[in-house]
Amino acid sequence: MFIEVKDAKKRYGEGEAAVYALDGVDLSLEKGKICVILGPSGSGKSTLLNMIGGLDSLDSGEIEIDGQNITKLNKKALTSYRKQSVGFIFQFYNLIPDLTVEENVQVVAEIADKPLDMDEILTALDIEKYRYRFPRELSGGQQQRVAIARAMVKNPKLLLCDELTGALDTKSSRSVLRFIEKINREYGTTTLIITHNEAIAEMSDVVVRIKDGRVDSITENASKKTADEIEL
């Protein structure tokens, strides 16, 4: 398995105020698949994504990514893991406002071991014409495409998307999802998408439902649709 999560537990707060964001999560995912994680607010899906992405550490349990147990990595190794293996896409893009489109992508390419061709990525995401613009000069959908380009330029093994269409209108959402689908197809990048939107689950290979910090169900999607076919 490419992703292996075993009995992952994470608690925030102490005593009576303690909340278990993850309360024994088990999850497996094959390489190259698109996995959509669904769940209500506070169910623990973002926490799970943060753990898999090496942004936070578990209280107990293990996470293996491509055979590497990331729960045992120190701070430096986790940074290296994020640098080499993981691409993040957030709901609110989190682009660096002082850098242009090109520079937001280039800043990651400069530290990556084997970056993809930046021009190719910008063209593929149809943002080449905006390369000298700053984030504030772009629409939400365009900014999210820059965020995808930034995530992909390092050629990550794993793409983690946290509510990537949450701040976008339907047209922009579909456009963004189309690029996610394209990347998965062309680069074989394993993709984890966290969303409230049930419709997005239809374009995934695997649907994981989380409730109260536990996995409620894992379903293989037998009738996978394209981004153009789903109803957003």
Q: Which residues bind another protein (CB under 8 A)?
A: 50, 53, 55-56, 76, 79-84, 86, 88, 90-92, 94-100, 103, 106-108, 110-111, 132, 134, 136, 150, 154
State which residue, 33 or 82, has the beta carbon closest to another protein. 82
State which residue, 51 or 207, has the beta carbon closest to another protein. 51
One-letter amino acid at 21 equals A
Query: In the complex, what is the shortest distance from the CB of residue 170 to another protein, in angstroms, rounded to a whole number?
Result: 20
Query: In the complex, what is the shortest distance from the CB of residue 88 to another protein, in angstroms, rounded to a whole number?
Result: 5
State the Cα–Cα distance between residues 144 and 68, nearest whole angstrom.
29
State which residue, 1 or 111, has the beta carbon closest to another protein. 111
Query: In the complex, what is the shortest distance from the CB of residue 109 to another protein, in angstroms, rounded to a whole number?
Result: 9
Helix boundaries (H) for the chain = 45-52, 75-85, 101-109, 118-124, 140-152, 170-187
Query: In the complex, what is the shortest distance from the CB of residue 218 to another protein, in angstroms, rounded to a whole number?
Result: 25
Handedness of CA 50, 40, 1, 179 (dihedral sign): negative
Phi, psi of 182, rounded to the nearest 5 degrees: -60, -45
State which residue, 105 or 203, has the beta carbon closest to another protein. 105
Query: In the complex, what is the shortest distance from the CB of residue 107 to another protein, in angstroms, rounded to a whole number?
Result: 4
Query: In the complex, what is the shortest distance from the CB of residue 63 to another protein, in angstroms, rounded to a whole number?
Result: 16
Burial of 126 (0-12, 13-18, 19+ CB in 10 A): middle
Contact by Cβ (8 Å): 7, 26? yes
C-alpha atoms less than 13 angstroms from C-alpha of 171 in its C-beta half-sphere = 3
State the Cα–Cα distance between residues 18 and 39, nearest whole angstrom.
21
Residue partners of 27: CB distance under 8 A and separation at least 6 = 3, 4, 5, 48, 208, 215, 218
State which residue, 79 or 170, has the beta carbon closest to another protein. 79
State which residue, 50 or 190, has the beta carbon closest to another protein. 50
| Closest-CA residue to 119 (of 132, 135, 107, 131) | 131
State which residue, 94 or 221, has the beta carbon closest to another protein. 94
3-state secondary structure at position 42: coil
Query: In the complex, what is the shortest distance from the CB of residue 92 to another protein, in angstroms, rounded to a whole number?
Result: 4
